[in-house]
Structure 1
Amino acid sequence: MIKTYILDTNVLLHDPLSIHSFAENKVVIPAVVLEEIDTKKRLTDEIGRNAREVGRLLDKLRETGKLHAGVPLENGGRLMVELNHKAADQLEKHGLEKTNDNRILAIALNLKEESDHPESVVLVTKDALLRVKADALYIKAEDFLTDRVAQFDHIYKGYSELYLDSELMDELYEKKSLSIKDAGTGETYPHHFYLFKDPAQPSRSALGMVDERSQRVNLFLGDSDGIWGIRPRNVQQRMAMELLTRKDIPLVTLVGKAGTGKTLLSLACGMFLTEDVQAYKKLLVTRPVVPVGKDIGYLPGEKDEKLRPWMQPIYDNLEFLFNTKKDTELEDILAGMSSVQVEALTYIRGRSIPDQYIIIDEAQNLTKHEVKTIITRVGEGSKIVLMGDPKQIDHPYLDEYTNGLSYVIERMKHVTISGHMKFEKGERSSLAQLAADLL
């Protein structure tokens, strides 16, 4: 049975290619949706870009026929822009005001009443309240879930815990490695870590790291001495430091709750590889400019003065690493170290960044398109670290399923040049850990 999917504005602004996600069914775009998209096309952010992309896609489809009559899609479906129905009658019938959302509901109701199979008419919207109103009118409503990846609680962790027989544990310590088959790991990913435990001796354990090329799990000891005065406080931090300091792993993703040490560890490793080892020419640290809560509006001053409040969390960690107490001391240090650059993510488009250690903080506030734009800026010899907490998203159109950080983790976990670690334990303070767990 062919279904009819009516798309809300937020679906198209979230993913312009969503019109191709409904197989061989009919896709309907109400005229009011085009009006709302038209009001967004002049925006300079991701929403504006998507609005313009929707316009280009529809204009290209217009060449194949009249949109109001319906045009075929490449996947066998059919797209139609709905212009004919009069929404006012249905709105008045149900006591609804003439808002844009209610006009979309009225069109869905009209199409449902005209259909021989009313259950085949589905409203697709990311607006939870509109789905509630649709249920009240007995209209089937769904969220757009096609582009969702794993929920944060089920996201790839980068490590696993396994029991290993005493004989194999002895072999691992003696030969420093085991074959993946002998270790009994099953399907695994490059640079995946294993915390092996001996069932006969609960206190006996070992860490292993997958070597994709040799198809073996190598004994991992880690560096407990720390880097730039920062010592790993738990096993996840030890494993993360290995990923952060390996030049043959140019893409590293880190996730964890607030206070787990993601930013501090990354900065310490970046400073070590840039300043001490000189494996990279420059350390570039950046984060998206997305406010928490109500926006404070325009800020006075030149570019650096405007960016300082947004970049302050990075400066806080740098002050800790350099053991400074005043902003002026840190500024003097950074001025003398031309290899360290703190920049806003806004200015990364169009750049090519070779031989640099790049840290992207708060990456959960990036869309899939923005993440792709950033990673494609990475030049030869560079390393990029994406970190964040998918549970703390400030972007109004993203959630823990659809943000760019989760998207990269799930799509790149099988790639040999990438590594990932999920932090479990907070190290900022006992209060911060309790707040992350309970609030």
Structure 2
Amino acid sequence: MEQGDRKLFVLDTNVLLHEPLAIYSFEEHDVVVPMTVLEELDQIKDRKRDISREARVAIRALEDAIGGSTTPEQIVQGVPLSGGAGQHAASGHLAIFPDHQIDFTTGALPGDCNDNRIINTALHLQQQHQPRSVVLVTKDINMRLKAKGAGMAKVEDYRTDQLVDDIRFLTKGFHCYPGNFWQQRDLLATTGHGQHTLHQVPRHELGDAPLSINQYLIDETSDFCGRVQAWSEDSVSILDLGRQHLLHQHAWGVTPKNIYQGMALQALLDTDIDLVILTGPAGCGKTILAMAAALELVVEQKLYERIIVTRSTPDLAESIGFLPGTEEEKMMPWLASVTDTLEVLHKNDVNPGGSMNYIMEKANIQFKSINFMRGRSIQNSVVFLDECQNLTASQIKTMITRMGQGTKLICCGNLSQIDSNYLTAVTSGLTYIVERFKDFEGSANIYLNGVVRSRLAEYAEAHL
């Protein structure tokens, strides 16, 4: 591991918990895992938390990479890495560093906590391998600050799964053109497909704005609203929807209050779209639109058999075991936003309580814990996954891969309300799926711009 042109990455425990196969993500560079990290993984792997699975997967990945016939000397010096099927091409080396055997030099951090021991290991390797570049990789912001203050030249966050550098550049699912859309653009052809009208527009007429499948296009002054059906370097196929048509949609007595809600409701009611991602500030209407559309599709149109509601919970549902009742009763405190929405949808009924009970039975609404979704195959259902901003990319992948034939998944979240210790707006699983699915013909993403809950909520969102 003396190649000067290759970096040496020292991994913290939280990197392997965030991405258990992170050792394969550094291409031709070498990876060092301190013994302290293995001890922390060993302590976590038996906990009754979902994160324990990530620890076990990381331990197995390390064992597979090292192999059974490797000598202790080879493990310390580094064994060649070879990425398995579906993994990044890894051609560097992996080493397990025995940091307990090192008498760290004067000036190192006190070794009374694991973070300090990992930082001291990185400092030791930095001194030992000069002038080679040694990088400490951790998702702990405070640890990065401590490492820099202790003399670590290079400290980085784990960014392999980070698709955008700034949340402002995250695709919103729509693009607004100034003025009147049709007065400034030429039309190649217009064709009718049943009830739908498709326009072919030259690609250069739409400017430099990035386009994606099922992206909505609107303008400032006319009734135009369209959705990108297909595009190439020469032309773009636009499905003509019409602003007024979107604003006059109905779903379970709910009508859109603005064009953004109109675009969201159109995607929610379109059975050709299997995944709908709704983002936006608190009070923009994500939950009520999702539940109204789900009830419309299940009860009125009878296109699906049931509604399954789930969401992330603090500590990934460890604490719900202390609540009384069945699984659904345990989940009720976390899903109060959904039950509140159902109350709003039926507040004008003669007997709102009876209406809610009837609808929950009629629509077969089930409240499920996200912990018990792994291994399931959900068919012919509308699945509503709320508070997605607190899930990692791997956790959301677990949910999406549960969806079977005839199932529609609705993901909602607010990237400004992340509760996880190790997630930010750019590393959230919600951001990850927005970017990954923007070119998938069976998905649509809409950022609901504007707070409609109340003038108090609107003012708070703008000024607090």
Structure 2: how far apart are the matches of 1:330 and 1:399? 40
- Taking a change above 3 Å as real, the CA distance of residues 15 and 171 of structure 1, as seen in their structure-2 partners, is closer
Of the three residues 218, 221, 239, the one matched with 1:195 is: 218
Please give the TM-score of this superposition, normalised by the length of structure 1.
0.90
- Taking a change above 3 Å as real, the CA distance of residues 278 and 68 of structure 1, as seen in their structure-2 partners, is same
- Larger CA deviation: 56-65 vs 228-237: 56-65
Please state whether the residue corresponding to 1:419 is helix, strand or coil. Answer: strand
Cα offset for 1:317? Answer: 0.2
- Taking a change above 3 Å as real, the CA distance of residues 410 and 109 of structure 1, as seen in their structure-2 partners, is same
Deviation per CA, 1:7-52: give whole Å up to 9, x if none: 1111111111111122222211111111111100012434211110
Deviation per CA, 1:193-252: give whole Å up to 9, x if none: 11134xxxxx43521211228942132123414322211111100111110000111111
Residue 416 (structure 2) aligns with: 391
Structure 2: how far apart are the matches of 1:167 and 1:25? 51
Structure 2: how far apart are the matches of 1:170 and 1:377? 42
- Larger CA deviation: 398-407 vs 61-70: 61-70
> Would the aligned equivalents of 1:319 and 1:330 in 2 still touch at CA under 8 Å?
no
Of the three residues 325, 333, 352, the one matched with 1:309 is: 333
What are the ranges of 5 or more consecutive residues in structure 2 without an aligned counterpart? 83-89
Structure 2 residue 56 is matched with structure 1 residue 32: no
Deviation per CA, 1:97-142: give whole Å up to 9, x if none: 4221111122122212222305x11111111222222222221211
AA matched with 2:407: S
Please give the TM-score of this superposition, normalised by the length of structure 2.
0.85
Cα offset for 1:258? Answer: 0.6
Aligned residues: 431
Structure 1: how far apart are the matches of 2:161 and 2:358? 44
Deviation per CA, 1:60-117: give whole Å up to 9, x if none: 1222624223100122101100016644543x54462422111112212221222230
Deviation per CA, 1:292-325: give whole Å up to 9, x if none: 9x97982233333322211111000011112269
Structure 2 residue 202 is matched with structure 1 residue 181: yes
Residue 265 (structure 1) aligns with: 289
Residue 166 (structure 1) aligns with: 183
Cα offset for 1:381? Answer: 1.3
> Would the aligned equivalents of 1:4 and 1:26 in 2 still touch at CA under 8 Å?
yes
> Would the aligned equivalents of 1:171 and 1:177 in 2 still touch at CA under 8 Å?
no
- Taking a change above 3 Å as real, the CA distance of residues 263 and 87 of structure 1, as seen in their structure-2 partners, is same
Pairwise CA RMSD of aligned residues? 2.8
Structure 2 residue 366 is matched with structure 1 residue 341: yes
AA matched with 1:80: A
What are the ranges of 5 or more consecutive residues in structure 1 without an aligned counterpart? 198-202
Structure 2 residue 226 is matched with structure 1 residue 208: yes
Q: How does 1:259-338 map to 2 (within 5 A)?
A: 259-290=283-314, 298-323=322-347, 328-329=353-354, 332-334=357-359, 336-337=361-362
- Larger CA deviation: 408-417 vs 42-51: 42-51
Structure 2 residue 224 is matched with structure 1 residue 227: no
AA matched with 2:237: R
Structure 2: how far apart are the matches of 1:314 and 1:161? 31
Please state whether the residue corresponding to 1:153 is helix, strand or coil. Answer: helix
- Larger CA deviation: 357-366 vs 309-318: 357-366
> Would the aligned equivalents of 2:295 and 2:363 in 1 still touch at CA under 8 Å?
no
- Taking a change above 3 Å as real, the CA distance of residues 349 and 290 of structure 1, as seen in their structure-2 partners, is same
Please state whether the residue corresponding to 1:204 is helix, strand or coil. Answer: coil
- Larger CA deviation: 60-69 vs 127-136: 60-69
Residue 130 (structure 2) aligns with: 116
